[in-house]
């Protein structure tokens, strides 16, 4: 039996690209020179990704400033938006929209098209959830541009981001919904999460069943500089609503869970029969490389609750969701990916 395995997305950028990004900010190089460095990093990333044996790869998000803000470069923004606190005390801050109408300045298929030039294996494409970008609208509103108008524009743009990636040949499109657990931390009543689910479904309902089968949703408690933002929020509160999303695939952080069997039982109760569940078997925050046997055992444990025919594996999260995250090395990331691939193969043999 084949058990599919996929990465979540980002790979740490090489030192020369990190320096190039800093040099661009300092005015030492041109955007064209940075683009050359991004291409160099992309080619190396795809080569190393394919060497792991991963049947599906990504571009490692080498050209993205972050998984969250890639559509916003050039939009009317101020830097003083919502603050996201992480467990170790550091924060990330979202931008704040200052004028409408809202539109994406960059679409994800632009990254995909570059990657497919160099790849010999299928390439998946990650996009940001509409719910995450909904947080850039200011709490006090905008003169002449209502929140309702903003959300209508946002849904149109989020649909276009997914559709363009599918049309550009993405093996699948993954919606990054890392703010799901964070929503429960911000609003334990569940009201904010409900609004996020409804907003994302207003995007997903525009796709056919066949298209939905190639669309997935990734959920995790965040991972930046080796620290999560909402690992203290239980999955049990999230999962019943998460599986209401009209997507065919779900990528769930699981390797870093303290009680995975409890979570898997909840997944078993709420996932619909047509939905494939990709279980996280690699923890990007853990500096230790998991063994293939550990990965195998995590898969076999999941198979006690989810039919192997509906099961897949993934990493818990990307290895560097923000471009300046240097907490994990490229060597470590690719070693972990290779362990995921081999461990999944061993699990597939065991259930055949």
CA nearest neighbour of 214 among 258, 255, 275, 263: 275
> Please, are residues 173 and 122 in contact by the beta-carbon 8 Å criterion?
no
> Please, are residues 146 and 193 in contact by the beta-carbon 8 Å criterion?
no
Dihedral of alpha carbons 63, 67, 71, 74, sign: negative
Residue at token pair 């040099």: 23
> Please, are residues 10 and 67 in contact by the beta-carbon 8 Å criterion?
yes
Please write down the HEC assignment for all residues of the chain.
CCCCEECCCCCCCCHHHHHHHHHHHCCCCCHHHHHHHHHHHHHHHHHHHHHCCCCCECCCCCCCCECCCHHHCCCCEECCCCEEECCCCCEEECCEECCCCCCCCCCCHHHHHHHHHHCCCCECEEEECHHHHHHHCCCCCECCECHHHHHHHHHHHHHHHHHHHHHCCCCCEEEECCHHHHHHHHCCCCHHHHHHHHHHHHHHCCCCHHHHCCEEEEECCCCECCECCCCCCCHHHHHHHHCCCCCCEEEECCCCCCCHHHHHHHHHHHCCCCCEEEEEEECCCCCCCCCHHHHHHHHHHHCCCCCHHHEEEEECCCCCCECCCCCCCHHHHHHHHHHHHHHHHHHHHHHC
Cα separations in angstroms, 100 against 21, 150, 171: 28, 7, 33
State the total domains in the chain: 1
Residue 181: CA atoms inside 13 Å, Cβ hemisphere, count? 21
Predicted pLDDT at 75? 83
Domain that holds residue 208: 5-351
Query: What distance in Å separates the CA atoms of residue 102 and residue 198, rounded to the nearest whole number?
Result: 20
Going residue by residue through the chain (352 aa), what tens digit of pLDDT does each one get? 799 999 998 999 999 999 999 999 899 999 999 999 999 999 999 999 999 999 999 999 999 989 999 999 888 999 999 999 999 999 999 999 999 999 999 999 999 999 999 999 999 999 999 999 999 999 999 999 999 999 999 999 999 999 999 999 999 999 999 999 999 999 999 999 999 999 999 999 999 999 999 999 999 998 888 898 999 998 888 999 999 999 999 999 999 999 999 999 999 999 999 999 999 999 999 999 999 999 999 999 999 999 999 999 999 999 999 989 889 999 999 999 999 999 999 999 999 8
What are the phi and psi torsion angles at 198 (to 5°)? -65, -40
Query: What distance in Å separates the CA atoms of residue 323 and residue 11, rounded to the nearest whole number?
Result: 9
Query: What distance in Å separates the CA atoms of residue 329 and residue 287, rounded to the nearest whole number?
Result: 10
Q: What is the CATH number of the domain that holds 219?
A: 3.20.20.210
Predicted pLDDT at 326? 86
Query: What distance in Å separates the CA atoms of residue 342 and residue 298, rounded to the nearest whole number?
Result: 13
Query: What distance in Å separates the CA atoms of residue 70 and residue 30, rounded to the nearest whole number?
Result: 19
């Amino acid at each position: 039996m084949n058990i599919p395995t996929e990465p979540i997305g980002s790979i740490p950028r090489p030192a020369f690209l990190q320096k190039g990004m800093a040099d661009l900010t300092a005015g030492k190089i041109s955007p064209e020179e940075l683009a050359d460095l991004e291409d160099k990093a992309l080619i190396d990333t795809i080569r190393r990704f394919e060497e792991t044996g991963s049947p599906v790869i990504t571009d490692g998000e080498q050209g993205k400033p972050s998984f969250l803000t890639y559509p916003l470069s050039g939009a009317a923004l101020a830097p003083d938006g919502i603050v996201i606190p992480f467990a170790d005390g550091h924060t990330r801050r979202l931008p704040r929209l200052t004028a409408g109408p809202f539109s994406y300045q960059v679409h994800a298929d632009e990254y995909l098209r570059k990657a497919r030039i160099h790849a010999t294996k299928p390439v998946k494409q990650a996009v940001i959830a509409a719910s995450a970008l909904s947080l850039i609208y200011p709490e006090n509103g905008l003169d002449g541009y209502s929140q309702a108008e903003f959300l209508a524009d946002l849904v149109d743009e989020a649909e276009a981001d997914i559709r363009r990636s599918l049309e550009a040949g993405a093996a699948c499109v993954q919606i990054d919904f890392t703010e799901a657990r964070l929503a429960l931390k911000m609003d334990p009543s569940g009201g904010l999460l409900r609004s996020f689910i409804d907003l994302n479904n207003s995007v997903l309902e525009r796709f056919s069943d066949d298209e939905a089968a190639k669309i997935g949703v990734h959920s995790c408690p965040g991972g930046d500089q080796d620290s999560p933002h909402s690992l203290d929020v239980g999955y049990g509160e999230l999962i019943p609503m998460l599986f209401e999303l009209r997507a065919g695939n779900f990528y769930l952080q699981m390797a870093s869970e303290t009680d995975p069997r409890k979570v898997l039982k909840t997944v078993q109760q709420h996932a619909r029969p047509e939905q494939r569940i990709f279980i996280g078997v690699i923890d990007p925050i853990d500096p230790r490389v998991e063994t293939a046997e550990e990965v195998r055992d995590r898969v076999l444990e999941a198979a006690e609750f989810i039919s192997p025919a509906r099961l897949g594996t993934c990493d818990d999260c990307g290895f560097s969701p923000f471009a300046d995250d240097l907490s994990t090395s490229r060597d470590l990331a690719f070693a972990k990916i290779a362990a995921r691939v081999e461990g999944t193969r061993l699990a597939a043999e065991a259930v055949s």
